[in-house]
A and B are shown apart, each in its own frame.
Chain A
Amino acid sequence: MANVSMRQVRKSFGATEVIHGIDIDIGDGEFAVIVGPSGCGKSTLLRMIAGLEAVTAGEVAIGDRVVNDLEPKERDVAMVFQNYGLYPHMTAFQNISYALRIARRPKAEIRERVERVARILGIEELLARKPSQLSGGQRQRVAMGRAIIREPDVFLFDEPLSNLDAKLRSQMRVEIKRLHDELKATSIFVTHDQVEAMTMADRLVVMNQGVIEQTGTPRQVYRRPGSTYVAGFIGAPAMNLLPATLSDDGAAVEGRGMGRIALPNGAGPDRSGHRVMLGVRPEHLAVVADGSGGLLAARLLYAEDLGASRLLHCAVGDDELIVHTQDETGDRPGDTLRLAADPANLHLFDAESGRRLEAVDGG
């Protein structure tokens, strides 16, 4: 039983602070995914939980123990490293059994447990091989085996799939989730791939520059991004963000090239004249026939054909936006399209702080 929590955790390397006071609570058995751009501090966060990096301030707890001053081996966590970190001079069997051998378990028990883990991962045939004789995907599995065999309270994954090709990656994604359903150990998975984040997480943690931007279920984060940063990061292609101004009564926004767009709930008159960002996802925009109203007019720049659907790159005033559509319209670059969206799918953010304005929440 282990939940993982961090209280106001900070981390500095020398004079530069890279983690600026993070609070996080991950429940027992949860699969949490930490997502964020390169260099935002994801690995550092994970390494602080593992005990490979000391925290500068704050408190890390696993279960109900504060582990700040505990050695890595006393924390009962297992970690799968980005480059796997398999011991190159040991066979897969020796790699997987290393922790048990260090703990001086009886030989028979070691053999039995390694074989069980190898069966789960489908690597029985590979146990005699050295890492150099394994493919990327196979190494990945051995690295998982090395973590699983210890039956730890907490699993940490540091971008374990980033070295795999697209096909293997989606396969391993499913497999890791299946394993988690089986083992039910608390897992923290770090990635900068938002597809991995969306598909795997019970709880999604979006990080940016050493702070947490938002936590929630993938659905919540997708439906109600808390900031323009999250809106741009989660979902592909990214959410369209257009600068606009709140109308005097706060019930609509106006912007260049888009006319007046009524908001279902309004933003309240106290914010009239406020500069905002209007957000709408490419998949929530539709091309409608001329004259049937719609949200705004856009000039088509070019279209990308993805096979199952198309991405229409359009210009609205000086801004660009993308429409993700499955319609087969015969439009050409230069045409003016009328775009419509369900008002419930509109998002409003403060232009300065980038935070979500709750009053217009479409839910």
Chain B
Amino acid sequence: MIKRVLFRNRLLPYLLILPEVLIVFVFFYWPSAKALFWSFTLEPPFGGFAQWVGLDNFRELFSSPEYYESAGITLIFAFWTTFISMGLALLLAIFVDRVIRGLVVYRTVLMWPYAVAAPAAAVAFQFIFQPGVGFFAFLNDIWPGIWDPNIVGADAMLMVIIAASWKSITYNFIFFLAGLQAIPRTFVEAAALDGAGPIRRFVTIVFPLLSPTFFFLLVINVTDSFTEGFGIINVMTQGGPGGATNILVYKIYQDGFIGLDLSGSSAQSVVLMALVVLLTFVQFKWIERRIHYAE
């Protein structure tokens, strides 16, 4: 159902959306347009006239093995972060749904981790995963060298995936829980009378009815992990060791702001943006078809 609001004043609706439009314009469209422009030029790092170079930046980008490596790392990071955080969140939501139908307090409390800023969470996790202190120091004592994210790329990757998943679990959890609670009891009860056990009820009734929530979260999580991993990686690994956690957004930052290759990193931004748009489009095209929105 779509709610329509009728405005008597013709100006009012435009005034109401103006702040939002301004914010989106200043912080998204303008920089995006700028990046698009830069990606076709050679931009001198300390100002001065830009030189039009056509597709040279992109050509250079797509012939760089480093770039493909970063793209691969991004996919691994995005896949596992989405998988772990959505999977665990769904599992937790199912448990909680059985216990606290309708209890708002729990939901509020469980939402808190989402309010923790990514760098803050990253600092905490970096401390937890230090090879020299705490639990991992204990493991390293028994099997020397089993865990060291400062040196071993796979360890570092695992660490940032866990930190990023932890960050978004709560968000996913809240949505899954709300989705589960919105499913009328009658459906599940009817299925129970029809002879379906808990697992078959979940597969045939609950999950299909939850699929709009699932799809929404999938889109959000995948796009988020493409872009939002920055805060965590910047604090924990700075893309290291040896580029093992150098996901695309972080590479853009490094090349642009550290390497001062503004044009090259602009080209990367444009590609990343196109990638996110494409991914979202594919998800809508292929997955949304199989979704049952409630009538």
* Residues of chain A having any CB pair with chain B under 8 Å: 50-52, 71-73, 77-79, 81, 83, 85, 87-89, 98-99, 102-103, 130-132, 146, 150
Contacts and interface: CB of A to CB of B under 8 A. Distances in A.
Contacts of A150: 194
A131 B295 contact: yes
Contacts of A102: 191, 194-196, 200, 204
B194 A52 contact: no
A89 B186 contact: no
24 contacts: A72-B189, A72-B193, A73-B192, A73-B194, A78-B193, A79-B189, A79-B190, A83-B186, A85-B184, A85-B187, A85-B190, A87-B187, A87-B190, A88-B187, A88-B294, A98-B194, A98-B196, A98-B204, A99-B195, A102-B195, A102-B196, A146-B190, A146-B194, A150-B194
User: Chain B binding site: helix, strand, loop or mixed by DSSP?
Assistant: helix
Contact of A99 (B194, B208, B292): B194
B209 interface: yes
Closest A-B pairs by Cβ, 7 of them: A132-B295, A85-B186, A89-B292, A99-B194, A73-B195, A85-B190, A89-B208
Contact of A87 (B192, B193, B205): B205
Contacts of B195: 73, 99, 102-103
A83 B184 CA distance: 10
Interface string B267-295: 00000000000000000000000001011
Nearest to A95: B190
Contacts of B190: 79, 81, 85, 87, 146
Interface in B198-256: 200, 204-205, 208-209
A72 B201 CA distance: 13
A85 B185 CA distance: 9
A131 B208 CA distance: 15
Contacts of A88: 187, 209, 292, 294-295
B200 A79 contact: no
Chain A CB within 10 Å, residue with most, of B190, B191, B197, B294: B190
A47 to B, nearest CB: 8
Contacts of B204: 98, 102
B210 to A, nearest CB: 11
Contacts of B196: 73, 98, 102
A88 B204 CA distance: 12
Interface residues of B, number: 20
Contact of B192 (A52, A131, A132): A52
Contact of B193 (A73, A83, A103): A73
Given A85-B186, A103-B195, 15 more contacts: A50-B193, A52-B189, A73-B193, A77-B193, A79-B190, A79-B193, A85-B187, A85-B189, A87-B187, A87-B190, A87-B205, A98-B191, A102-B196, A131-B295, A150-B194
Nearest to B211: A89
Interface of B: 184, 186-187, 189-197, 200, 204-205, 208-209, 292, 294-295
A85 B205 CA distance: 12
Contacts of B189: 50, 52, 72, 79, 81, 85
Contacts of A131: 295
A203 B7 CA distance: 58
A253 to B, nearest CB: 50
Q: Looking at B189, B292, B295, which has the most chain A CB atoms within 10 Å of its CB?
A: B189
Nearest to A89: B292
A103 B197 CA distance: 11
Contacts of B209: 88-89
B45 to A, nearest CB: 56
Nearest to B195: A73
Nearest to B295: A132
B258 to A, nearest CB: 51
B196 to A, nearest CB: 5
Contacts of B186: 81, 83, 85
A72 B292 CA distance: 27
Nearest to B190: A85
Nearest to A53: B189
Contacts of B184: 83, 85
Nearest to B201: A102
A50 B208 CA distance: 25
A151 B195 CA distance: 13
A81 B191 CA distance: 12
A335 B209 CA distance: 65
Contacts of A130: 295
B65 to A, nearest CB: 47
A130 B186 CA distance: 17
A77 B194 CA distance: 9
Contacts of A73: 192-197
B183 to A, nearest CB: 10
Contacts of B191: 87, 98, 102
A255 B253 CA distance: 96
Contacts of A98: 191, 194, 196, 204
A146 B196 CA distance: 14
Most buried by B among A51, A52, A78: A52
A77 B189 CA distance: 12
Nearest to A52: B189
Given A89-B292, A131-B295, A72 B192 contact: yes
A52 B191 CA distance: 11
Contacts of A79: 189-190, 193
